[in-house]
A and B are shown apart, each in its own frame.
Chain A
Amino acid sequence: MPVEIRGLSYDYDQKTKFQKRALFDIGFTVRDGDFLGIVGHTGSGKSTLVTHFNALNRVQQGTVVVDGVDLSQKFDYKALRAKVGMVFQYPEYQLFDETVYKDVAFGPKNLGLDEREIAVRVEAAIRMVGLDYDAVKERSPFELSGGQMRRAAIAGVLAMRPEILILDEPTAGLDPRGKREVMRLIQGFRAMCKIIVMISHNMDEVAANCSRIIVMNEGRVYGDYAPEELFHNEELLSALRIDMPAVCTLTRRLNERGFSLPEDTLDEAVLLERLVGAVRAKRGGGHA
Chain B
Amino acid sequence: MLAKAARNTYNKRMSFIELNAVKFTYNSGERDEAVALDGVSLSIGAGEFVAVVGHNGSGKSTLAKLINGLYEPDEGEILVDGLSTADDKNLFDIRSRVGVVFQNPDNQMVATIIEDDIAFGPENLGLPPAEIRARVDWALAGVGMSEYAKGMPFKLSGGQKQRVAIAGVLALKPRVMILDESTSMLDPKGREEVMRVVKKLVDEEKMTVILITHFMEEAMQCGRIVVLKEGKVFLDGGREILTREAELKEAGLETPFAVRMANALRARGIGIDADVMTLPALVEALCR
**Chain A residues with a Cβ under 8 A of chain B:** 41-43, 140, 143, 145-147, 172-178, 201, 204, 241-243, 246-247, 249-250, 253-254, 257-259, 268, 271-272, 275-276, 279-280, 283
Contact = CB atoms under 8 A, between A and B. Distances in A.
Given A173-B181, A279-B270, A280-B270, A41 B187 contact: yes
Given A143-B32, A176-B216, A178-B56, A246 B185 contact: no
Contacts of B214: 173-176
A120 to B, nearest CB: 28
B54 to A, nearest CB: 7
B274 interface: no
A249 B279 contact: yes
Contact of B56 (A147, A172, A247): A147
Contacts of A254: 283, 286-287
A42 B157 contact: yes
B69 interface: no
Nearest to A173: B184
Given A41-B189, A268-B261, A276-B268, A177 B252 contact: yes
Nearest to B256: A246
A147 B181 CA distance: 15
B86 interface: no
Given A201-B188, A241-B189, 18 more contacts: A41-B187, A41-B189, A42-B157, A42-B190, A145-B56, A172-B184, A173-B214, A177-B254, A178-B55, A246-B279, A253-B280, A253-B283, A254-B283, A272-B268, A275-B265, A276-B265, A276-B270, A283-B270
The number of chain B residues touching the other chain, given as a range, is 35 or more
Contacts of A42: 157-158, 186-187, 189-190
A176 B214 CA distance: 7
B14 interface: no
A272 B287 CA distance: 15
B182 to A, nearest CB: 12
A146 B56 contact: yes
A91 B253 CA distance: 23
B283 A250 contact: yes
B280 A175 contact: no
Given A254-B287, A257-B287, A175 B279 contact: no
Contacts of B280: 253
Given A42-B190, A253-B283, A258-B287, A177 B270 contact: no
Contacts of B56: 145-147, 174-175, 178
Contacts of A257: 283, 287
Contacts of A143: 32
A176 B253 contact: yes
19 contacts: A42-B187, A140-B32, A147-B56, A173-B103, A174-B214, A176-B252, A177-B55, A204-B257, A241-B188, A246-B258, A250-B257, A250-B258, A250-B261, A253-B279, A254-B286, A257-B283, A275-B261, A279-B265, A279-B286
B192 to A, nearest CB: 10
A103 B217 CA distance: 36
